[in-house]
């Protein structure tokens, strides 16, 4: 296993777990999510203890997950509640997974359910805050989840992968700096007095600033284990302090990336953008979401081909340049935590 176990990952969005159960392969397990009688999300193995049917093909009835084959009713604790005509007391338990719904996401603890600690779920300040708007989506990508961390912790790729939207030459020309801040790796780049690329010109227009205004632009990428990357991005009218400029003179957003291994070699990628300008403008939210969806789809092709190459040329050593420092240090942090978990298991 190549991912940290004592940690929370995003397993689904709240909206995905509605009246019907949701089956999803995640963290090497086949899971099924459903809502109990109190509306709380529960997750158990997607395996009926009767004959092995997929519980996700069933339905939710009074907060229990009813198998679509013979009607076994499963509780969120992995204990069978009932089955028509049967005594279920001796039925074997199935595995439950610790889950917590928060900020519009269903968080899944990758380790033993009993060890789950909800205080470790990151705080997403924008959720439910009227000063912010959020839109996002989900992609399934056939590549190791760490390739996405590399991707996000080095935004020089924007110039090439996203040339027509957020890329611009000044990204290449401006060095980035990478540092570790406690349990976070931070890579930042500040570009001053430049033209805004198309995506940001639209944002400027949205806040009433002429599109051709010279801007200061920032990218502050923060990786935190197990595999979350939050990126402060934006532009401000040049010379007003950049990311610290007054709110009406800047377009400030956070790109949100929650990356969850499906199994070795593939991932679920929950992407989104939280913005702090014109939050009530739902049409803008939708437009940004569409644009981001298109931009991030460009990354999918790159990463899947890269993964195929890494499999085919397994013995090749990759370069670790200064621009790769963000990814390299993030992976180092993951490796340290994996080593720590491996030690703990030996004891």
Interacting residue ranges for its own copies, rule: CB under 8 A = 30, 46-47, 49-54, 57-58, 66-71, 83-86, 91-92, 150, 154, 156-157, 159-161, 172-173, 175, 301-302, 305-306, 308-310, 312-313, 316-319, 321-324
**Shortest Cβ 307–its own copies spacing (Å):** 9
Question: Strand 133-141 relative to strand 184-194: parallel, antiparallel, unpaired?
Answer: unpaired
- The C-alpha atoms of residue 236 and residue 213 are separated, in whole angstroms, by 9
Residue from 96, 36, 32 nearest 67 by CA: 32
Identify the sign of the CA torsion 27, 266, 343, 108: negative
Nearest to its own copies of 151, 249 (CB atom): 151
Residue 113, token pair as written in the block: 């359910």
**Shortest Cβ 303–its own copies spacing (Å):** 9
- The C-alpha atoms of residue 14 and residue 270 are separated, in whole angstroms, by 12
Distances 156 to 163, 174, 292, 300 between C-alpha atoms, Å: 11, 9, 17, 16
Q: Which residue in this structure is represented by tokens 């990758």?
A: 110
Go through the chain and tell me how many residues it has: 347
Distances 248 to 134, 154, 313 between C-alpha atoms, Å: 19, 29, 50
Q: At what angle do helices 145-152 and 325-346 cross, to 10 degrees?
A: 140
> How many CB atoms lie under 10 A from the CB of residue 43?
28
Phi, psi of 198 (to 5 degrees): -50, -50
**Shortest Cβ 94–its own copies spacing (Å):** 9
Nearest to its own copies of 25, 278 (CB atom): 25
Q: What is the 3-state secondary structure (H, E, C) of 128-154?
A: CCCCCEEEEEEEEECCCHHHHHHHHCC
Nearest to its own copies of 129, 309 (CB atom): 309
**Shortest Cβ 212–its own copies spacing (Å):** 25
- Cis peptide, bond prior to residue 226, ω within 30 of zero: yes
**Shortest Cβ 304–its own copies spacing (Å):** 9
**Shortest Cβ 154–its own copies spacing (Å):** 7
Nearest to its own copies of 147, 236 (CB atom): 147
Nearest to its own copies of 194, 254 (CB atom): 194
- The C-alpha atoms of residue 323 and residue 176 are separated, in whole angstroms, by 7
Residue from 180, 181, 176 nearest 154 by CA: 176
Nearest to its own copies of 80, 292 (CB atom): 80
Nearest to its own copies of 140, 160 (CB atom): 160
Nearest to its own copies of 118, 322 (CB atom): 322
**Shortest Cβ 314–its own copies spacing (Å):** 10
**Shortest Cβ 66–its own copies spacing (Å):** 7
Nearest to its own copies of 95, 118 (CB atom): 95
- The C-alpha atoms of residue 104 and residue 107 are separated, in whole angstroms, by 9
**Shortest Cβ 336–its own copies spacing (Å):** 22
DSSP-assigned letter for residue 92 = P
Residue 229, token pair as written in the block: 């990357």
């Amino acid at each position: 296993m190549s991912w940290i176990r004592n940690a929370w990952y995003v397993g689904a969005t709240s909206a995905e777990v509605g009246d019907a159960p949701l089956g999803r392969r995640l963290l090497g397990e086949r899971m099924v999510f459903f809502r109990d009688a109190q509306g709380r999300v529960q997750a158990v193995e997607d395996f009926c203890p009767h004959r092995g049917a997929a519980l996700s093909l069933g339905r939710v009835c009074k907060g229990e997950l009813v198998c679509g084959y013979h009607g076994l009713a499963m509780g969120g604790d992995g204990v069978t509640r009932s089955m028509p005509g049967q005594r279920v007391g001796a039925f074997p338990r199935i595995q439950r997974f610790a889950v917590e719904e928060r900020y519009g996401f269903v968080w899944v603890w990758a380790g033993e359910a009993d060890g789950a600690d909800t205080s470790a779920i990151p705080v997403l300040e924008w959720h439910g805050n009227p000063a912010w708007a959020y839109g996002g989506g989900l992609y399934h990508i056939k590549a190791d989840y760490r390739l996405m961390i590399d991707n996000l912790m080095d935004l020089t790729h924007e110039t090439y992968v996203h040339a027509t939207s957020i890329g611009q030459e000044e990204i290449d020309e401006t060095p980035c700096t990478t540092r570790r801040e406690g349990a976070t790796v931070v890579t930042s780049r500040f570009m001053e007095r430049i033209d805004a690329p198309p995506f940001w010109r639209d944002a400027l227009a949205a806040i009433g600033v002429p599109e051709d205004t010279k801007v200061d632009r920032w990218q502050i990428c923060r990786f935190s284990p197990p595999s979350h990357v939050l990126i402060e991005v934006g532009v401000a009218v040049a010379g007003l302090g950049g990311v610290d400029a007054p709110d009406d003179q800047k377009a400030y957003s956070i790109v949100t990336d929650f990356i969850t291994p499906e199994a070795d070699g593939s991932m679920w990628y929950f992407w989104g953008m939280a913005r702090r300008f014109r939050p009530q403008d739902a049409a803008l939210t939708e437009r940004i979401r569409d644009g981001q969806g298109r931009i991030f789809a460009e990354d999918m092709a790159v990463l899947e081909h890269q993964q195929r190459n890494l499999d085919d040329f397994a013995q090749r050593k990759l370069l670790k340049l200064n621009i790769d420092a963000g990814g390299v240090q993030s992976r180092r942090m993951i490796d340290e935590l994996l080593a720590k978990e491996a030690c703990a298991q030996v004891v």
